[in-house]
């Protein structure tokens, strides 16, 4: 069960996609992202590589690979996936690594794409 204070709603996502200081991370596999698209301003870091991207990558490596600054421990990171399961796992990993302002968009791509099509 995810702490409700760490859950971001669709309405909140509509706001954060325009806030460059927020880091939105899609933890789906690249083939899933290529097949469906992604939430605007998000970067794709598959779940299996989240730990390494947040711990092992230097600021320069992160910048080259994802075209944005590596988040600091105090930056707000919002994870999403297809349905919320993997984003919850990524949230747990990030919190354990000290990224204290991490959250999850539990509705994830299923919720986003359904609402965007209306």
Distances (CA, A) of 110 to 72, 83, 89, 98, 117: 28, 6, 17, 28, 11
> Quick check: is 81 catalytic?
yes
Q: Among 81, 90, 94, 106, which one carries the catalytic annotation?
A: 81
Separation CA 59–CA 52 (nearest Å)? 12
Name the token pair of 46: 């598959």
**In contact, 103 and 6? CB cutoff 8 Å:** yes
Active-site amino acid positions: 81
């Amino acid at each position: 069960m995810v702490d409700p204070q760490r859950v971001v709603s669709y309405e909140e996502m509509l706001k954060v996609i325009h806030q460059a200081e927020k880091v939105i991370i899609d933890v789906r596999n690249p083939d899933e992202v290529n097949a469906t698209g992604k939430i605007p301003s998000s970067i794709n870091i598959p779940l299996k590589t989240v730990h390494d991207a947040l711990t092992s990558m230097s600021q320069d490596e992160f910048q080259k690979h994802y075209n944005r600054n590596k988040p600091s421990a105090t930056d707000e990171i919002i994870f999403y996936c297809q349905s919320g399961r993997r984003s919850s796992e990524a949230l747990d990993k990030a919190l354990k690594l000290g990224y204290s302002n991490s959250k999850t968009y539990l509705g994830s791509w299923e919720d986003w794409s359904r609402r965007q099509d209306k």
